[in-house]
Structure 1
Amino acid sequence: MRDLAALVARVGVGGLFFANGWAKLEQGLINTGAEFARQGAPAPGAWATTTMLFELIGGALLIAGLAVSVTGLVLFLEALAVFLIAPPLNQLDTNALVALGAASVLLAVVGAGRISVDHMVVIRRRESEAASEFAADDEADKVIASLRAPDPELPAASGEPASDDPKSGDPASEDTAPHRRPSRRTGEQATSEPGDTLVAGRKKPAARTRKPPATDD
């Protein structure tokens, strides 16, 4: 309903402005200037030309719904100037001038609504901007994906194993973890060679065996 009301207001106000401008054009600039001279306007010829152009062009723009914010403000200023400098001699024309000026500034603030050329232009501009942004994002994603993907033609980086086989001969793939020295087993028991164990950086001395006491036969 708001868009429909804006359309009705635009057509009504713009139609009245356009009709006034067309009437001045039909009368001719000389007759229109003479009328402004009777109203006490300075430079009646310039007033006639200026108001005729503003009313014709501004009324058409209001009807089409193009640049309504600027057009409504310009028509309001034109009506205010005529009311202050050269008010119509007829009271009915004065009331119509006030109503048209108030409606013009209201349209300038409210806008043209969605049933207008302004709205169609804005929609197309936003769609084109959104499409360009999506295209730019897709291109950036492709570039990032290409940078992250490994190149099969490039050799393996230094310090990385060429294969997963531990027997490939690459020193990087050899197992360098510390291991205990294997013990020698004799029968069921395992004995370590003396001097294998380090204690605080020194070899642990071999364990002393206690001789059994001598017995008299």
Structure 2
Amino acid sequence: MRTRPLYDVVALLARLGVGIVFMAHGWQKIEAGVTATSRSFDALGVPLPTAAAVYSAFVELLGGAALIAGLGLPVTGVLLFLDMAGAFIFVHADKGLFMVDGKSVQNGYELVVALGLAGLLFAAGGGGRLTVDQWVIAKRLRRPAEKEDEDDAASFVESLRQAELKPAKKPRRSPKPPAAPAPESSGAPDKPADTSDDVLVAGRRKPSQRRRTSTTQPAKPPTGDTDPPA
């Protein structure tokens, strides 16, 4: 089971090896001269030999350097793949697989196939994270977050400054309830309220009279003639 750091290191080594091979072939063409390279391409049957010589020389030299650095890998990988595809179609396709078979040089297509597919692999995202492209992308992604943090800090400082400059507010007094309106006087004196608990049905109840006790009254004398005692 591979880990991501290990894959990044292996991808960097692969880019380094393939990039060195491309740079060596590009430098070889530039050192020989664009004119000599175009004549060689013309002898091999390559169409537009001068344009093909310029393209292959500079794409292999600069593309190999960009491959090592991991700069513009999607574009670099595609350009290197097209360079090797042209070499395979117009030069090496009918020479067989091996470049050297025994003691004879066959000039086969094994090298151009390996280099072209490696460039296509790097173009498809196989270059790992140890690249200039990843560094640029990560830097661009960090900028909005840092800017947002700076804006938040600036707004916080501004709010504190506004709070210091603003005078302290006096506590609001609760509004007094409106006074109840005085009852209108009609000229007649106010009658006292009836506080009696009795319910009046047919007028006011008269106070109860005291009953006369018969025990305290003297008995009346009999009305008939009675003989006085002897």
Q: TM-score surpassing 0.5?
A: yes
TM-score, structure 1 length as denominator?
Answer: 0.69
**Which residue identity lines up with residue 194 of structure 1 in the other structure?**
A
In structure 1, distance between residues paired with 2:163 and 2:87: 70
Q: CA deviation at 1:68?
A: 1.4
Q: 1:25 aligns with which of 2, 21, 30?
A: 30
Partner of 1:13: 18
Instruction: Encode CA deviations 1:33-73: one digit per residue, 9 max, x unaligned.
Output: 12211221112111101111111110010011111122112
In structure 2, distance between residues paired with 1:177 and 1:97: 104
In structure 2, distance between residues paired with 1:152 and 1:104: 69
**Aligned counterparts, 1:15-164, within 5 A:** 15-84=20-89, 86-88=90-92, 91=96, 92=99, 93-142=108-157, 151-152=166-167, 161=172, 163=173
In structure 2, distance between residues paired with 1:2 and 1:71: 21
- Tell me, what secondary structure is at the counterpart of 1:99? helix
- Tell me, what secondary structure is at the counterpart of 2:166? coil
Partner of 1:212: 207
Distance 1:146 1:69, change over 3 A: same
C-alpha contact 1:36 1:48 (8 A) present in aligned 2: yes
In structure 1, distance between residues paired with 2:70 and 2:167: 60
Q: CA deviation at 1:150?
A: 8.8
Q: CA deviation at 1:129?
A: 3.1
Q: CA deviation at 1:9?
A: 1.0
What RMSD in Å do the two structures reach over aligned CA positions?
3.4
Q: CA deviation at 1:82?
A: 2.9
Partner of 1:174: 176
**Which residue identity lines up with residue 54 of structure 1 in the other structure?**
V
Instruction: Encode CA deviations 1:159-184: one digit per residue, 9 max, x unaligned.
Output: x83x5xxxxxxxx5324598xxxxxx
Partner of 2:193: 194
Q: CA deviation at 1:139?
A: 2.8
Structure 2: segments with no counterpart, 5+ residues: 1-5, 100-107, 181-191, 213-230
Instruction: Encode CA deviations 1:85-136: one digit per residue, 9 max, x unaligned.
Output: x223755252111111100111111343232222333333333332112112
- Tell me, what secondary structure is at the counterpart of 1:87? helix
In structure 1, distance between residues paired with 2:56 and 2:194: 117
Q: CA deviation at 1:209?
A: 5.0
- Higher alpha-carbon Rg: 2
**Which residue identity lines up with residue 25 of structure 1 in the other structure?**
I
- Tell me, what secondary structure is at the counterpart of 2:59? helix
